[in-house]
Amino acid sequence: MASGSGSSKNDFRRKWDKDEYENLAQKRLAEERDRERRDGKIAPPVKRDLLRHRDYKVDLESKLGKTIVITKTTPQAEMGGYYCNVCDCVVKDSINFLDHINGKKHQRNLGMSMRVERSSLDQVKKRFEVNKKKMEEKQKEYDFEERMKELREEEEKAKAYKKEKQKERKRRAEDDLDFEEDDEMAAVMGFSGFGSSKKSH
């Protein structure tokens, strides 16, 4: 196992025979396999579900533009970034978070494999029918009167905006007139202006 004879007398480190330990490890593994075969305890391969659609909306925008203070005692779920409670990890940006939740490790932790169920012809036809019905319902919901009401509201908003602009122009014009009257009064009194050093001829 360990050879006591060293190349020099000052070398006190133990020398291990690697080949001997490797042979021992191989024997131990072989014995364990034999024992499992005899007892019938060979673990069957893990059967995982097929990949399914996500039944929830991924929240990427709730923390957008917000500032939080992170201390040493802040829990990992509240630290900066996106927290995955399935894998108990924090991902720093949204692109990597999407890559993570669509990745192999996350899907395995959810109990799914990366294999997708093959759809039959009947399932595809049913899906087309459902989508067609949805489109027809949307077209029925489109109401002419409702659209006319929306157009009237838009026109009223545009008119109100124009009126506001006109009022603002009138106010500016009145302010300019008041300023010109002050200039005339200053000229009558004998001085041309308060802030300028130029002389008017």
Binned at pLDDT 50, 70 and 90, residue 192 comes out as low
- CA atoms of 46 and 37, how far apart (whole Å): 18
pLDDT in tens, 57-77: 888 888 788 888 888 888 877
Question: What DSSP line would sit under 64-127, residue for residue?
Answer: TT------TTS-GGGSSSEEETTTTEEESSHHHHHHHHTSHHHHHHTTEEEEEPPPPHHHHHHH
The reported pLDDT for the residue numbered 95 is 92
pLDDT in tens, 74-126: 887 787 788 888 888 989 888 999 999 999 999 888 888 888 888 899 999 99
For residue 190, give every residue at least 6 positions away whose Cβ sits within 8 Å of its Cβ, in sequence order, or none. none
The reported pLDDT for the residue numbered 8 is 61
Cβ(21)–Cβ(3) under 8 Å?
no
Residue 44 token pair: 């069957």
